[in-house]
Amino acid sequence: MKKISSELENTRKTFSFFSKLKRNSQVSNDLWNEIEEALIQADVGVAATSRIIDVLQA
C-alpha cells in the first residue's frame, strides 16, 4: 500500500509541474529541471522524458 501511495504522490507532483508550466509564459531552466526530475521519478523513463521536454520547449 505504501508503494502505491508513493507512486500516486509522484504522479501528483508531475501534474503540479505541468500546471505551473501552463501558467507561465516564460519557463526558467530550474522549472524545466524540476519537470524533468518529476517525470523520471514518476517512472516515465529517460527517453520519453527527453522527448516530452523537447516537445514542450518547442
Count CA atoms within 13 Å of residue 45 on its CB side.
3
Residue ranges covered by each domain of the chain: 2-57
Share of the chain above pLDDT 90, in %: 12
User: What's the pTM value of the predicted model, to 2 decimals?
Assistant: 0.57
Higher-pLDDT residue of 33 and 16 is: 33
* pLDDT of 46 over the 90 cut: yes
Q: Identify the pLDDT of residue 12.
A: 78
- How sure is the predictor about 24, in pLDDT bands with cuts at 50, 70 and 90? low
